[in-house]
Chains A and B, each alone.
Chain A
Amino acid sequence: MNDARKLRILVVDDDPSIVELLSIVLEMAGYEVLTAGDGAQAVSLLQNLVPESLLDVIMVDLMMPVMDGLRFMRWLRTEFKSTVPVLALTGRNKPGGEAMILQAGADAVLYKPVEPKEIVEMLATLLDRTGADGSAKG
């Protein structure tokens, strides 16, 4: 982890309440939180606003309007060629669903409802596993 700056996380979710609460939780856990309301907004953010190299981890909901989480992850991996670790958060727990999510580009999946503590732990594990630090790049 880079001491020079906080770990930067992009939270992509269409539910504003979750985005807001997650932001509080993650900020308290020491993350700098960026948010997007759907996959399309996240794409736009990544392309225009934020240097992708400064992004440490992405947390994405799957079920979203305009561009869903799966599509976003596929874009991220195939078109944007990013290796930023992605934690998928979903309420859908269908047989075979996890494989599809991982195949789309997620590095880990958490099923709602999940304790904020678990989210923070999973993010830490994910960052450790991928060796991500503040300079994680695509």
Chain B
Amino acid sequence: MVRILKRFSYGEIRYVAVMVWLLLGSALWVIGAAGLFAVPDGVLYDHLVRMGGRPSQALPKVLLLDAQPESRDGGDATWLPLLKELQSQGAEQVLFTFLPAHVTPDFYAYARRSGNVFFGRGLIQPTGVSTEALEIEPLPKFAQENGVLSAVYALAPSEYGVYRIQAHAFATSAEPVSPALESLAAAYVRGGAGKLRKEGLYRVNFLGSYELPRISATRVANGELIPELVKGRSVLIGFSGAGPHLYTPLAGSGKMLSEFEFHGYALDTLLRDQPIGSVPNWVRFSMILSLIGFSLFILQWGGLRFSVGVTAILVAANGIMAWLALDFVRVWLPLTELWLAQIATFFLFTRVRAVTEETKLRQMMLETNAKLRERFFPTSFFASQEHWSQVITMVNQTLNLERTIFLERVKGDHRVHEVKSLNCSLQDIKEQRRDYERAPYSTAIAERSPIEVQNYLSRGEEGEVQYLVPLLFGGEILGFWAFGARPEKLAALHNRDVVLRDFGEHIAELLFHRQQWLEKEAEQARPLERYLRLQGGEQVVESLKKTLAALDRRLVGMDDYLHGLSTAGILYDLFGRVLIANRQMVQILTKAKLVPYQMTVADLVSAVAGVSLDHARGLIQSIILDRQKISISAKLPDDQRSYVLYLGPLLPDRQNQGVRTADPRPFELEGVLCELIDVTAIKRLCHLKDEVAERLVYQIRNDTESLLMAVSLLEIPALTEEKRSRTLSIARDKISTMMMVIEKTHGLLSQEVDIEIETRYPVDCKQPLHAAVDALQSKAAAHDIRFELNLPDLISLVFASPEGLKAVLESILAALITDTIQQGSIRVDLEERDQWIVYRFSSQGFGIPEERFQAYLHGDASLSAEEFKKLRQSAICVEYWGGALEGHSEIGVGTRFELKLKGFI
């Protein structure tokens, strides 16, 4: 079955549910029909019978008259008065379960005349005949002559030792159909011999474990017969003390019945016409099929917990239904088959699902592995040793190791195998130290972290330190990394254990992919082996765990990469909802009081680019439908920076997936990508050149003025020769100066400028100062310190870095804030003198000894204060720009700084 189900799971048979339904239903029906469920079914039946209510007609129709076995030989003296007494008390019928001995013809004549007296005759094995056929006990001569009513007094076969059923008739050697005593008596009550059923079995009704009334023959003889007990009842006379007691449904409640009592219940069942019936076979089959079909339908709706719950409910419902049917309709339903059908359906369904899931998981795992491998590592990585050489060389060089070896665990071998080694080999590890089930491997596995080992690699240099690092991936040890290094080099490695563990993780991941690849290669090389191996679920799970670990590493890497991007990005789905936003984007939008996850793409475009919502929708439409890429200038509220908003479709990498599509389709899109590109620096750079160009124009205008004046003067005839000569000289000098300025400015304008701190370019000297003051305003306010800026309106540019000058000014101001007294002020004077721009910073502060201050500012004294670290960096920076940063400090007076930078036109 499981084999068939496995085939189902692979999708080879389309209608698995129909197959399960028919196969399971038929199997249960056939097994049930063959009687193989008789025992459990009987047990359930007995149990429910005992739990059942009393019969609908509360009063039994049978009175058991219990005689002593020896009274059988009592003759007329015993039986005739008894019979007469019973008749006189209005007994409906009198049934002798035996033929009384020593009675006279008068007895039988009286019995015959009464017309309601029946005699039971046992079945006996004929003497001297070797046959299984039984003979009915012969009637005495007088009885035969009087034509008394008699029938077979016997039991139907038990069901595995339990008597639940009785026969309407028995077959004997003389007659094929001899009615049973109970059936004959019941037929007479219903109207005569014509109503006699001559075949079949019926279940004796013990429902409610009720008791039949009984009285002893002795009490009747003593005149203690209660008339109400007899009247209208069939009195069954027999011997409860004779013969073995029988197991019946009532045995479960500790009540064993004699054969006589069993017949009493059988007679009562027929007289009340309440035998327990059974369902026909076709109904049974229909019920089983319906139940399986219903279960299969319901079970598909939920998971395992739901299936268990539904199954439990249906099992209980079946039990209740069977009990109700038995109690009220007196029909026994095939409860065993129903329960088995229910439980088997659950298990089969769960199994099919488990097999399917396992197959899908395995498939998914293999595909994921393959994808990861193809995406991140070329096949040659695993196939050749070249890439491993690169890895081992990189590890060796980065960590400054002397020698390194990568070892891996191979299935079916307890010894480690070499993957790659550098400056050593597997031969350097002693044979007895290659067993990874022993130390030092077992220690490293137990520690799950790098351990120091002694003389692990032989031929080591004096004092070499050796380490063994377990290569853990997905919680499993895939191999080991051993290395030797000089102690001083290893000591220089900060956070050694963490670094080694990180490297170990990366190497383990590579090893995992290599092992996966090797496994796949081996499978392809020996396809038969696949079928000879038993691959349990555990292996699948382990493999999946490792694949997921690999995937997780990639995802974490991708996540870090995404959030580490300096460009702010946000990805929307086709419906304009946010899929992912990187940290930069969230920060920028949050600063602008926009909530990225509560905005659609149209909202974002509208808010950031300052266009109407309709316009924004139009732009999105063109991206989705026409695959347009759009860049718009963007400005955010409360943000001084300048941005360009790039909007474009995010399309799947069709080339890599080998898919070709002719026309663009909207749902082919994976989303709309929005990037906010910070162009502040670019703008600033453009502005820098603009400013230089503007200054050039100003300078040329200035110089042209000289030339113009010179020309005007030279045109004046009255100009003295001396002045003429001087004017000409000035004009020549001016032309020469102009040419120099033009050439220098041209050089600057054609220079590739960036905002790096090392850059040296003419920049505005006031704007960085204002920016630095703005940046430190809150810090100064916290110390109750104010800034006093004494700046000229017009001043030349200075040679510095666009970003660096602000940082330098900030470092100086920050140092002064630390030194200045509370409620004091920091004064900044800016002046241009002799082509130098000079910033002077002063404040009334605490000050430090001048010698120490100079050591901090320009010396190599180790620094702990962040302010001085920055100042020292600033001094270096200023020097690079061709300027100078000087400072002086005096205790009780404060600190002063002078920053000199070269001016430019």
Question: In whole Å, how far is A62's beta carbon from the nearest beta carbon of chain B?
Answer: 6
Residues of B within 8 Å of A15, CB to CB, are: 702, 706
Asked if A21 is at the interface of the complex by the 8 Å CB criterion, the answer is: yes
- Which of B701, B718, B727 has the most chain A CB within a 10 Å cutoff? B701
Q: How far is the CA of A22 from the CA of B723 in the complex (A)?
A: 12
A112 touches B793 (CB 8 A): no
Instruction: Say yes or no: A65-B832 contact (C-beta < 8 A), given A70-B793, A113-B704.
Output: yes
Q: Tell whether, in the assembled complex, residue A21 and residue B701 are in contact, meaning their CB atoms are under 8 Å apart.
A: no
Instruction: Point out the residues of chain A lying under 8 angstroms from B730, CB to CB.
Output: 17, 20-21
Asked if A45 lies at the interface with its beta carbon under 8 angstroms from chain B, I say no
B706 touching A21, Cβ below 8 Å: yes
Per-residue 0/1 for B496-530: is the Cβ within 8 Å of any A Cβ (1 yes, 0 no)? 00000000000000000000000000000000000
- Contact pattern, B 687-708, Cβ under 8 Å of A = 1, otherwise 0: 0000000000111111011111
Question: Which stretch, B258-266, B458-466, B709-717, B893-901, touches the partner chain A?
Answer: B709-717
- A-contact bits for B714-736, CB 8 A (1 contact / 0 none): 00101100010011001001100
A67 close to B (CB within 8 Å): yes
| Interface residues of B, dominant DSSP | helix
Once A15-B702, A111-B701, A112-B705 are accepted as A-B contacts, the answer to whether A21 and B727 lie under 8 Å apart by CB is yes
A24, B702: Cα distance in complex, Å: 17
Closest Cβ of chain A to B349, distance in Å, is 83
In chain B, what residue has the closest Cβ to A101?
A: B793
Q: Is B1 located at the chain interface by the 8 A CB criterion?
A: no
| Given A25-B712, A71-B792, A71-B793: A112 in contact with B833 (beta carbons within 8 A) | no
User: Which of the residues B701, B727, B833 comes within 8 Å of A65, measured between beta carbons?
Assistant: B833
**At the interface, yes or no: B538 with Cβ under 8 Å from chain A?**
no
Specify which chain A residues have a CB less than 8 angstroms from the CB of B228 in the assembled complex: none
Q: Is the CB of A66 within 8 A of B713?
A: no
CB-based contact A18/B702 at 8 Å: yes
Q: Which residue of B lies closest to A27 (CB)?
A: B723
Residue A5 interfacial (CB < 8 Å): no
Contact A91 B699 (CB under 8 A): yes
Say if the beta carbon of A105 comes within 8 Å of chain B: no
Kindly identify which residue among B701, B707, B709, B834 contacts A91, using a CB–CB cutoff of 8 Å.
Answer: B701
A112-B701 contact, Cβ under 8 Å, with A15-B706, A17-B730, A18-B709: yes
- What residue in chain A is nearest B837 (Cβ atoms)? A65
Please tell me if the beta carbons of B792 and A116 are within 8 angstroms of each other in the complex: no
Q: How far is the CA of A111 from the CA of B708 in the complex (A)?
A: 13
- With A17-B706, A92-B698, A114-B708 already in contact, the answer to whether A24 and B713 are too (CB < 8 A) is yes
On chain A, the residues within 8 Å of B700 by CB distance are: 91
Q: A20-B726, A24-B727 are in contact. Are A116 and B712 (CB under 8 A)?
A: yes
A81: Cβ under 8 A from any B Cβ = no
CB neighbours of B709 from chain A (8 A): 18, 21-22, 25, 116
- Taken together as a complex, chains A and B put the C-alpha atoms of A20 and B728 apart, in Å, by 12
- Within 8 Å CB of A117, what residues of B? 712
A85 contacts B by Cβ under 8 Å: no
- Asked if A54 CB lies within 8 Å of chain B CBs, one says no
Q: Mark A7-32, 1 if CB is under 8 A from B, else 0.
A: 00000000101101110110010000
Partner of B702, one of A28, A66, A91, A115: A91
Closest A residue, CB atoms, query B793? A70
Interfacial chain A residues near B716, Cβ < 8 Å: 28
Distance A133 CA – B722 CA, assembled complex (angstroms): 31
B794 within 8 Å of A (CB atoms): yes
Q: Which of B709, B727, B834 has the most CB of A within 10 A?
A: B709
Q: Judging by beta carbons under 8 Å apart, are B713 and A63 in contact?
A: no
B712 close to A68 (CB less than 8 A):
no
Question: Shortest CB–CB separation between residue B739 and chain A, in angstroms?
Answer: 15
Cβ of B831 under 8 Å from chain A? yes
- With beta carbons under 8 angstroms apart, the residue of B702, B704, B708 that contacts A116 is B708
Minimum CB–CB distance for A40 against chain B, Å: 9
Question: In the complex the two chains form, is B698's CB within 8 Å of A116's CB?
Answer: no
Q: How far is the CA of A89 from the CA of B719 in the complex (A)?
A: 24
The distance in angstroms between the C-alpha atoms of A63 and B772, with both chains bound, is 25
Q: How far is the CA of A66 from the CA of B701 in the complex (A)?
A: 21
> A65-87: contact bitstring with B at CB < 8 Å (1 yes, 0 no)?
11111110000000000000000
Q: Which residues of A contact B697 (CB under 8 A)?
A: 91
- Taking a contact as CB atoms under 8 Å apart, the answer to whether B713 and A69 are in contact is no
In the complex with contacts A24-B713, A70-B793, A115-B708 CB distance below 8 A:
yes
Nearest Cβ distance between residue B43 and chain A, in whole angstroms? 107
Bound-complex Cα distance A68 to B707 (A): 23
**In the complex, chain B residues whose CB is within 8 Å of the CB of A115:** 708, 712
Interchain CB contact under 8 A, B723 and A24: yes
Residues of chain A within 8 A of B372, CB atoms compared? none
A-B contact count (CB 8 A): 87
Whether the Cβ atoms of A18 and B792 lie closer than 8 Å is no
* Nearest Cβ on chain A to B790's Cβ, whole angstroms: 10
Q: How far is the CB of A64 from chain B (nearest CB, A)?
A: 8
Q: Taking the complex as formed, is B331 at the interface, i.e. its CB lies under 8 A from any CB of chain A?
A: no
B708→A68 contact, CB < 8 A: no
Q: How far is the CA of A71 from the CA of B712 in the complex (A)?
A: 31
A112 to B710, CA, bound (A): 14
Give the distance to chain B from A106, nearest Cβ to Cβ, in Å: 13
A89's nearest neighbour on chain B, judged by CB, is B705
Partner of A113, one of B701, B792, B795: B701
Q: Which residues of B contact A22 (CB under 8 A)?
A: 709
Please give, as numbers and ranges, the residues of chain B lying within 8 Å of A64 by CB-CB distance: 794
Q: How many Å lie between the Cα of A28 and that of B242 in the bound state?
A: 167
User: Which chain B residues border A112 with CB–CB below 8 Å?
Assistant: 701-702, 704-705
Residues in B neighbouring A93, C-beta threshold 8 A: 701
Given A25-B713, A65-B834, A113-B701: A18 and B706 interface contact (C-beta under 8 Å)? yes
Min C-beta distance of B720 to chain A, whole Å: 9
Complex CA distance for A67 and B707, rounded to whole angstroms? 25
Q: Which A residue sits closest to B709, measured CB to CB?
A: A21
CB distance from A9 to the nearest CB of B (A): 15
Asked whether A66 and B734 contact (CB < 8 A) given A21-B706, A91-B701, the answer is: no
A17-B713 contact given A65-B834, A111-B701, A112-B705, CB 8 Å threshold: no
Please, how many angstroms separate the alpha-carbon atoms of A89 and B707 in the complex?
15
A69 touches B794 (CB 8 A): yes
> Which A residues between 91 and 119 are near B, CB-CB below 8 angstroms?
91-93, 100, 104, 111-117
Residues of A within 8 A of B702 (CB): 15, 18, 63, 91, 112
The CA of A120 and the CA of B776, in the complex, are separated in Å by 50
B698→A63 contact, CB < 8 A:
yes
- Choose from A21, A67, A91 the contact partner of B792 (Cβ within 8 Å): A67
With the chains together, A106 CA to B730 CA distance in Å?
28
Are A91 and B708 in touch, CB under 8 angstroms?
no
CB distance from B839 to the nearest CB of A (A): 14
Q: Which residues of A contact B733 (CB under 8 A)?
A: 17
Tell me the bound Cα distance from A71 to B702 in angstroms: 20
Complex: chain A residue closest to B708, CB-CB: A113
Cross-chain contact A66 with B833 (CB below 8 angstroms): yes
| Interchain CA distance A68-B792 in the complex, whole Å | 7
Which chain B positions have C-beta within 8 A of A21? 706, 709-710, 713, 727, 730
Whole-angstrom distance between the Cβ of B681 and the nearest chain A Cβ: 24
Question: How far is A64 from B795 in the complex, measured between Cα atoms in Å?
Answer: 7
Q: Are A113 and B698 in contact (CB under 8 A)?
A: no
Q: Within residues 789 to 813 of chain B, which ones have a CB less than 8 A from any CB in chain A?
A: 792-796
Closest beta carbon of chain B to A85's beta carbon, Å = 20
**Chain B residues within an 8 Å CB radius of A92:** 698, 794
Residues of B within 8 A of A20 (CB): 726, 730
Q: Which has the most chain A C-beta neighbours within 10 Å: B708, B716, B831?
A: B708
Residues 309-348 of B contacting A (Cβ, < 8 Å): none
| B residues less than 8 Å from A68 (CB atoms) | 792-795
- 5 new A-B pairs (CB below 8 Å) besides A17-B706, A28-B716, A89-B705? A24-B713, A91-B705, A93-B701, A100-B793, A113-B701
Q: Which 4 pairs from chain A and chain B are nearest by CB? A: A91-B701, A112-B705, A65-B832, A113-B704
Q: Give 12 A-B contacts (CB < 8 Å), ordered by A residue.
A: A18-B705, A18-B706, A28-B719, A65-B831, A65-B834, A66-B831, A92-B794, A113-B701, A113-B705, A113-B708, A115-B708, A116-B709
